[in-house]
């Protein structure tokens, strides 16, 4: 019976990762121009690619006096990312041109009883702004959210946020650039040239 349960969990995990296009390759960079994406897409074996902006934030949560930090990840101008797509539990993803809208990871939303329409302060790249929650989401990339340097999750003091690429590029001074690349690869035979 335990082998049947284990097998079922493995199949469910594989289906979830495939459905939401979980990345095979993760690369963090200091800064690269968006023109590099076309060169990476041309590499044999690349299936899908998302070039994004990532950064850190300090959050000011209402009725929670302790320090809270977050990882902020950009979303493409329209729709879902090509890789590491989000499952929207509640609300809708931030819209292009709406600077201060964010989607938040479900574990953090649950820990702070947040839902679409709620607002909180954030300091991103030294600039303070007030963010509005538009969605509560789940991500194959952040099943187990552990703060940098941590060993265990801390859902009250660490979260993951998603903002429109335009908004996060402006906040991080990354206009026309990216600092994170996630890729899925073809499962067929690779030809190295």
Structure tokens that stand for 148 in this block: 């940098």
pTM of the model: 0.89
Rounded to whole angstroms, the Cα distance separating 102 from 94 reads: 6
C-alpha distances in angstroms, 106 versus 75, 88, 150, 173?
A: 17, 9, 19, 28
**CA 126, 130, 135, 137 torsion-angle sign:** positive
pLDDT at 92 over 90: yes
Q: Are 73 and 86 in contact (CB under 8 A)?
A: no
* Between 125 and 21, residue with greater pLDDT: 125
The three-class DSSP label of residue 140 is helix
pLDDT class of 191 with cuts at 50, 70, 90: low
- Looking at residue 76, its pLDDT comes to 93
pLDDT class of 59 with cuts at 50, 70, 90: very high
């Amino acid at each position: 019976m335990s082998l049947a349960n284990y097998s079922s969990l493995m199949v469910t995990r594989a289906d979830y990762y495939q459905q939401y296009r979980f990345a095979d390759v993760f690369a963090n960079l200091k800064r690269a121009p968006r023109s590099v994406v076309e060169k990476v897409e041309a590499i044999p074996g690349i299936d899908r690619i998302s070039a994004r902006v990532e950064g850190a934030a300090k959050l000011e949560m209402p009725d929670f006096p302790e320090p809270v930090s977050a990882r902020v990840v950009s979303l493409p101008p329209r729709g879902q990312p090509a890789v590491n797509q989000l499952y929207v539990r509640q609300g809708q993803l931030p819209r292009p041109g709406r600077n201060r809208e964010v989607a938040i990871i479900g574990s953090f939303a649950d820990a702070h009883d947040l839902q679409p329409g709620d607002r909180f302060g954030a300091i991103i790249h030294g600039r303070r702004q007030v963010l509005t929650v538009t969605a509560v989401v789940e991500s194959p990339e952040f099943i187990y959210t552990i703060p940098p340097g941590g060993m265990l999750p801390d859902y009250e003091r660490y979260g993951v946020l998603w903002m429109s690429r335009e908004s996060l590029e402006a906040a991080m001074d990354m206009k026309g650039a990216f600092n994170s690349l996630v890729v899925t690869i073809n499962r067929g035979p690779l030809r190295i040239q």
